[in-house]
Amino acid sequence: MAAYLKLPLSNQQIYVEIKLSDPDATYNTTAAAAAAGGDLDIICCVDVSGSMSGSPIKNVCEVLRDIYQRTQKDYRLFTYNTQTDVKRTLKTLSERNDNLQASGGTSFACIFTAIKDYLIQNASAKKPVTFIFMTDGQDNEPNGLALQKSVQMLKLMLSAITNSPPITFHVIGFGEVNDEFLNKIRTFGTRQGLFRYSTESKELQNNFNDMFEYALHVRQFTIKFPNGKTYTANNIDNETVGFLTNDGDDLSAMAELTLIDDKTTTTQFPLAPMKDIRAIHLLHALNLIQPENEEQVKSIQTYLNNIQITNSKNFAERLEAEQIYKEIDQRMMEYRQLFAQLKMTQVPERVKLQLSALRHDPIFANTQRKKKLDLRVYKNVDYFKKTNISGILQGYKDSITLDTWQKIREQKEIWVDTYSNEDIYEIMRKSPDNILCLGIFVQRDEEVINNPAKGLKLLKVTNTIISYDSFINGMNLAKNNQQVQGQFTTLNDHYSIAGALADEQINAVIPLYINDEHMKRIRILEGIWLGYLYTLDSCGYDKQQEVALLKLFYEIIQQRTNTQRQKQMIIELEKVCRFIIDESQGFKTAEQFGEKTYEKLLKRLPIVNTQEYDLSIPLMIGYLRNDLTSVLVPIYYEYLRQEYLRKYPKNSAAVKTIVENLVYGCDSKHLPATLSTNNSSTLTNNNLPDYIEQSFIDYFHDELSQPIQLTPENIIKENRKWMIHEEIELNYIKGLLLPLPDFIRTMLNLCQIDEDYIEKHLDYDTLRYELLITFYYLIYSDTNSGGLLNLPKKENILSVIDGRLQSEKERAVAHDYSESVHLVRLVSHVAKNCKTLEGFAGVMRKYCPSRRGPIFSEVFIRLVESYDESEGDTVGTVTKKEKLIALLKNQISTMTATEVIYEDMDQCHSLPSLDEQLRSLRRFIDEKKVEQIGLQNRGRLVVYCRRTLMGDRQCRRKRNYRYFLNPFHEDSF
Kindly report, residue by residue over 36-61, the tens digit of the pLDDT. Answer: 445 789 999 999 998 888 888 988 99
Residues 284-306, mean pLDDT to the nearest whole number: 88
pLDDT band at 112 (very low <50, low <70, confident <90, very high): very high
Residues 236 and 173 in one domain: no
Same domain? For 769 and 905 the reply is: no
Judge whether 692 lies within some domain.
no
Is 575 in the same domain as 603?
no
Q: Is the dihedral of CA 54, 60, 66, 72 positive or negative?
A: negative
pLDDT tens, residue by residue, 376-388: 555 566 666 667 7
Identity of residue 359: R
- Banded model confidence at residue 223, pLDDT cuts 50, 70, 90: very high
How much is the average pLDDT of 523-532?
89
**What local confidence, expressed as pLDDT, does residue 270 receive?**
93
pTM of the model: 0.54
Range 407-412 contact pairs with CB under 8 angstroms and sequence separation of 24 or more: 407/515, 408/515, 408/517, 408/518, 411/514, 411/515
Residue 596 pLDDT > 60: yes
Tell which residue, 451, 449, 455, has the closest CA to residue 373. 449
Position 668 confidence tier, pLDDT thresholds 50, 70, 90: low
Under 8 Å CB-to-CB from 433, ≥6 apart: which residues? Answer: 315, 318, 389, 390, 393, 521, 525
Is pLDDT at 397 greater than 60 in this prediction? yes
Query: Does 402 lie in the same domain as 355?
Result: no
In a domain, 678, yes or no: no
Residue 689 in domain: no
Task: Give yes or no: residues 89 and 149 share one domain.
Answer: yes
Which position has the higher pLDDT, 249 or 481? 249
Does residue 710 fall inside a structural domain? Answer: no
C-alpha 366: how far from its chain's center? 20
- The pLDDT of residue 551: 93
The pLDDT score that the predictor gives to residue 482 is 58
- Identify the band that residue 954 occupies on the pLDDT scale cut at 50, 70 and 90: low
Q: Same domain, yes or no, for 572 and 603?
A: no
φ, ψ at 223 (rounded to 5°): -115, 125
Of 590, 614, 642, the residue at which a domain comes to its end is 590
Q: Which of 113, 105, 130, 119 is nearest to 47 (CA)?
A: 105
Mean pLDDT of the region 740-765: 93
Supply the pLDDT for residue 371: 40
Per-residue pLDDT, averaged over 314-338, amounts to 81
Domain that holds residue 831: 817-972
Provide the greatest CA pair distance for the chain: 119
CA distances from 417 to 412, 499, 563 (A): 10, 11, 20
Q: What's the average model confidence in pLDDT over 114-121? A: 93
Least confident of 246-250, 310-314, 686-690: 686-690
Dist. CA 384–CA 317, nearest whole Å: 10
Residue 615 shares a structural domain with residue 570: no
Split at pLDDT 50, 70, 90, the class of 850 is confident
**Parallel, antiparallel, or unpaired for β 76-80 and 256-260?**
unpaired
Domain count, the chain: 6
Strands 436-444 and 240-244 turn out to be: unpaired
Q: DSSP string covering 479-513, please?
A: HHHHHHTT----TT----EE-SSTT-EESEEEE--
Q: Is pLDDT above 50 for 811?
A: no
Where is average pLDDT lowest: 581-595, 668-682, 893-907, 934-948?
Answer: 668-682
Query: Alpha-carbon distance 570 to 927, whole Å?
Result: 86
Alpha helices in 584-688 (DSSP H): 585-589, 595-603, 616-624, 628-647, 653-664
- Region 300-309: mean pLDDT is 86
Domain end marker among 797, 830, 847: 797
**72: helix, strand or coil:** coil
> Is residue 17 within 8 Å of residue 242, measured between CB atoms?
yes
One domain, residues 344 and 433: no
Last residue of a domain, one of 568, 590, 612: 590
In the prediction, which pLDDT does 313 show? Answer: 58
Q: What's the pLDDT tens digit per position in 691-736? A: 888 888 888 877 667 788 887 766 554 444 578 888 888 999 999 9
Q: Is residue 810 part of a domain?
A: no
Q: What is the mean pLDDT of residues 604-610?
A: 69
Domain match, 448 and 573 both: yes
Question: What value, to the nearest 5°, has the Cα angle with vertex 344 and ends 338 and 345?
Answer: 145
Considering the domain boundaries, does residue 713 fall inside one? no
* Residues of the chain above pLDDT 90, percent: 29
- Classify residue 850 by its DSSP letter: T
Q: What are phi and psi of 650, to 5 degrees?
A: -65, 140
417 lies in the same domain as 538? yes
What is the domain-level CATH number for residue 180?
3.40.50.410
Q: What is the mean pLDDT of the chain?
A: 81
pLDDT of residue 34 exceeding 50, the answer is no
Does residue 788 have a pLDDT over 90? Answer: no
Taking a C-beta distance cutoff of 8 angstroms, is the pair 510, 572 a contact?
no
> What average pLDDT does range 434-449 have in this prediction?
88
What pLDDT is recorded for position 386? 66
Instruction: For residues 645 and 786, state if they share a domain.
Output: yes
392 three-class SS: helix
How is residue 678 annotated by DSSP? E
Question: Model confidence at 240, in pLDDT bands (50, 70, 90)?
Answer: confident
Q: Is 809 within the bounds of a domain?
A: no
Most confident of 222-226, 327-331, 586-590, 848-852: 222-226
In a domain, 704, yes or no: no
Helix, strand, coil % over all residues of the chain, rounded to 5? 45, 15, 40
Lowest mean pLDDT among 180-189, 675-684, 816-825: 675-684
% of the chain beyond a pLDDT of 70: 82
The residue that leads in pLDDT, 350 or 624, is 624
Q: How confident is the model at residue 738 (pLDDT cuts 50, 70, 90)?
A: very high
Averaged pLDDT for residues 604-622: 81
pLDDT at residue 22 is higher than 70? no
- pLDDT, residue 370, reads 36
Residue 143 has pLDDT above 60, yes or no: yes
Residues 789 and 641 in one domain: yes
